[in-house]
Amino acid sequence: MSRANPFGDLTDFAPQDAAKPVPAEAIEQIAAASGFPSRKAVGSAAPSPAPVAPARTPRRHTTGRNRQINIKATEETVAELYRVADALGLPLGAVLEQAIAALAAQKDI
């Protein structure tokens, strides 16, 4: 019993003819007839861009802190945290440490 050569007859794998491009007008007509909405901007009113946070100077401090936390806060709280850190010239971790220590001392914890 002999095996068939897997590469013996590859005529079925001839390249196909290149597809003919469809005109854009025909596509838009078919989409309109099918009820698909257009993604093109309608009217001259451009959407308002999303608010962009003010640029801050990068903070690079070499510290012994190697843990990261992710905290959800309001925009005002985050801005205040950065303002205090900039005013004190400290990294965010040091500001957090001082804030926790002050809160613990105030509440006598």
Residue 87 in domain: yes
Q: Say what the pLDDT of residue 88 is.
A: 94
Number of domains within the chain:
1
Per-residue pLDDT of 40-52, as tens digits, reads 776 666 666 777 7
DSSP state string for 76-109: HHHHHHHHHHHHHT--HHHHHHHHHHHHHHHHT-
Q: What is the pLDDT of residue 106?
A: 94
In a domain, 47, yes or no: no
Question: What pLDDT does 49 receive?
Answer: 72
The answer to whether 95 and 85 are in contact (CB under 8 A) is: yes
User: Does residue 101 fall inside a structural domain?
Assistant: yes
The range of the structural domain enclosing residue 87 comes to 73-109
| Verdict on whether the full-model pTM lies above 0.85 | no
Q: Give pLDDT < 70 ranges for the chain.
A: 1, 42-48
- Predicted confidence at residue 59, as pLDDT, reads 72
Residue 106 maps to a domain: yes
